[in-house]
A and B are shown apart, each in its own frame.
Chain A
Amino acid sequence: MKRKAFGRDAGLTSRMVFTGFLLGALYVAFAAVLFNVLNVGLAPMIVISLGLAAFQYYTSDKLALAASGAKVVSADEAPELHAMVDRLCAMADLPKPRVAIVDTDVPNAFATGRSPKHAAVAVTRGLRERLEAKEIEGVLAHELAHIANRDVLVMTLASFFAMLAALLTRFALYAGMFGGGYGRRNDNGGNQVPVWLIVLAVSMVTYAISFVLIRTISRYREYGADRGSALLTGAPEYLMSALQKISGQMTRIPQRDLREMEGMSALFIIPTRVKRATGEWFMDHPPLEKRLARLAEIAREMGRPVA
């Protein structure tokens, strides 16, 4: 068995495909309902949202950098950061993305760009200050894995449909408020629901479902990028400790001494944290515990000899 640069996880891939399929199926049904209820107004809307999606796709790197206030830095301004990116790109066989720094204390990082050729990777000042070099490398490898996996393209496609639904929702609201531009009443009954209300309800439901599905896809992409980072650096433990540090104070490994805590919480049996099950549906990043558990699994996998 040969190890691939960004790792294949058959289960993860099949779940991604399945989620993507569900998303597609949802829109087929959505379109059918709309066409049956009204036979105009759909085409222009699709054109509009297609245009918007295309705009978002082609300007994703500029948009994301501008929105976050990231400044692209040269190799002279941040030599150690560039050196890391150079090394990782050589390992991953990727063209080098632009490197940017966001001047904020919040430790974070992101990657953007429609293709590896038009990509940028950004880290915050807080991340550089708080993490060790090897931990930063793990985070950068995670972002480069996003680029290699074309996650911007995937998420743009996925959110295109959600955008469409949102647009329709707004359109329907607008039409309803100003006297229903395309709701012709039938003469075979007095008390029927106005058409715009049906459109509104349908697109609302569509949007809610697609919202959940998009976040599900997004979480799967995060797992994929974690896996890519682990395989690229060959040391998942650094990404694990980076995630620990980035995630805030809740689950941090403490700096204090056990004996100081005597008589306090360390000595008492307190039930461990309550598990959140439903909250996960609306998160676009998987919960830290799950990410760490998967990385631990990869770490154990790596320890075994390759057959």
Chain B
Amino acid sequence: MGFLDALLGRKQLKDPARDRLFALSTARITLEAELDLRPAGVGAVCFKSMSAAEFVRAEKDLHGLLDAVARDTGTKVERKTDDYGFEWLIAHDADFEDLVATIHLVGAELESRGFGPQLLAAVFRFDRAGQPAYWIYGYKRGAFWPFVPSGESTRRDNATELELKAKLEKELPIEEDTSRWFGTFDAPL
């Protein structure tokens, strides 16, 4: 972890979004104890790519960084483009803290290059009996919201989502306005 700590220590500025993303690391215990939800070992950052040379450079550097992280923690990162034209950087790591740190790193790196507005959301997958439940983190509002697809195409399990909010609102910054709880159906994770 020494290498990662060094990386995360780069920014001396107080970054509210950073602290908020890491809240999920501790919330995970409640998720497992109260709701039997376990991390699926996969998380992703979803962002809108730009053709600008500066952005391409930033992405190249980011991949260099991620390769270094992969050597250090064993986190695997793959890249996908979805039908909406968004880029996904998908990280696989059985160690949940490392996973959150990697996801944070991607966001922080893009933000520090001035591409913060391109960031849409970070998505973390949890599983209960093989059924996925996602925590989505909106960069714009610095808050999490639950997303539990119910199997059918664009249906979601509102009851479970509200239960997740009820049991975790003391530990996680949760988006208060439920009309903003947009899902990411058929996300690549």
12 A–B pairs (Cβ distance < 8 Å), ordered by A: A235-B159, A236-B163, A237-B166, A244-B178, A257-B183, A258-B182, A259-B82, A259-B86, A265-B180, A299-B166, A299-B167, A303-B34
Q: Are B159 and A135 in contact (CB under 8 A)?
A: yes
Contact with A along B129-171 (1 / 0, CB 8 A): 0000000101011000000000000111011111101110110
Listed residue (A240, A258, A260) with the most chain B CB atoms within 10 angstroms of its CB: A258
Residues of A within 8 A of B120 (CB): 258-259, 262, 267
Interfacial chain A residues near B154, Cβ < 8 Å: 255-257
Interface segment out of the listed A121-129, A218-226, A246-254: A246-254
B97, CB-defined interface residue at 8 Å: no
In the bound complex, how far is the Cα of B159 from the Cα of A303, in angstroms?
Answer: 16
Closest residue of chain B to A298 (Cβ to Cβ) is B166
A240 and B159 contact, Cβ closer than 8 Å, known pairs A255-B154, A259-B84, A262-B48? yes
A residues in contact with B180, CB < 8 Å: 254, 265-266
Q: Which residue of A lies closest to B170 (CB)?
A: A300
Q: Which of A104-112, A195-203, A268-276 contacts B (4 or more CB under 8 A)?
A: A268-276
Q: Which residues of A come within 8 Å of B, CB atoms?
A: 132, 134-135, 235-238, 240-241, 244-245, 250-262, 265-269, 272-273, 292, 295-297, 299-300, 303
Chain A CB count within 10 A is highest, among B48, B162, B170, for B162
Smallest CB-CB separation from A243: which chain B residue? B162
Q: Which residues of A contact B73 (CB under 8 A)?
A: none
Point out which of B121, B156, B159 has the most chain A C-beta atoms below 10 A from its C-beta. Answer: B159
CB distance from A235 to the nearest CB of B (A): 8
When the two chains form the complex, which single residue of A237, A250, A259 contacts B162, counting CB atoms closer than 8 Å?
Answer: A237
Question: Which residues in chain B, 19-34, are within 8 Å of chain A measured between CB atoms?
Answer: 34
Contact B181 A253 (CB under 8 A): yes
